[in-house]
Amino acid sequence: MFVTGFGPFGKVKDNPSGWLARNSGRPFAELPVTFGAVDDFLAGFDPTDYRAVLHIGVAAGSRVMRLETRGRNIIGGTADVSGVVQAGEITPFAPDLRSRIWADGDSVKGETRWSNNAGSYLCNYLLYRSLECFPDARIGFLHVPMFSAMPRERQQAILIRLLSAIEAR
């Protein structure tokens, strides 16, 4: 199992996704919040070295963890931390792509929920491009709230439970 998280961006100075990736007990990468960093990571990554890949990103306005079920072929017009702006389809005329990691029993009542919208920023970009680049790999995305909305110890416990369930399949 390989885990990724993101570094700081905008008003998110301490990104919970990076902390969770670093403290997952699994091999991990913490990515800068740039399109280039995502592309460079994917170009050098071999998912066949791992049984599954879980990407983690922050959903600053959320109060629960969100298990993302699809990567959408869309990116908004928000600049990354290096100032690069991308907008429109990620891959022209391509469909949205389904995540290949989650099972029905993965949701934790009251603390996680299913979501089919990973947004239109770097989280969705990473999910979509990963699914596109590695069509046979088990890849998923988990959006997490800020630690002020759900304490880090609780998020870490839920993450470890999810990782263990994924690894058991």
Lookup: tokens for 152: 């880090």
R_g of the chain, CA atoms, integer Å: 15
Answer for the pair 144, 56: CB distance below 8 angstroms, yes or no.
yes
Residue 107: what pLDDT? Answer: 84
Where do the domains of the chain lie, and which CATH numbers do they carry? 2-168 (3.40.630.20)
Lookup: tokens for 34: 């740039």
Q: pLDDT tens digits, residue range 105-142?
A: 888 888 999 999 999 999 999 999 999 999 999 999 99
Rounded (10°) angle between helices 122-133 and 35-44: 20
Average pLDDT over residues 26-36: 98
This prediction's pTM: 0.96
Over pLDDT 70: what percentage of the chain? 100
**The pLDDT of residue 88 is above 90:** yes
Residue 120: what pLDDT? Answer: 96
Residue 156: what are its φ and ψ, rounded to 5°? -65, -40
Residue 31: what are its φ and ψ, rounded to 5°? -95, 135
Residue 108: what pLDDT? Answer: 83
One-letter identity of residue 73: N
Lookup: tokens for 166: 């994924």
Over pLDDT 90: what percentage of the chain? 95
Residue 113: what pLDDT? Answer: 95
Answer for the pair 153, 68: CB distance below 8 angstroms, yes or no.
no
Judge residue 42's burial from the number of C-beta atoms within 10 Å of its C-beta, 0-12 exposed, 13-18 middle, 19 or more buried: middle
Helix (H, G, I), strand (E, B) or coil at 7: coil
How do the residues of the chain divide into helix, strand and coil, expressed in percent and rounded to 5?
30, 20, 45
Residue 155: what pLDDT? Answer: 97
Within 10 angstroms of residue 80's Cβ, the number of other Cβ atoms is 19
Residue 110: what pLDDT? Answer: 85
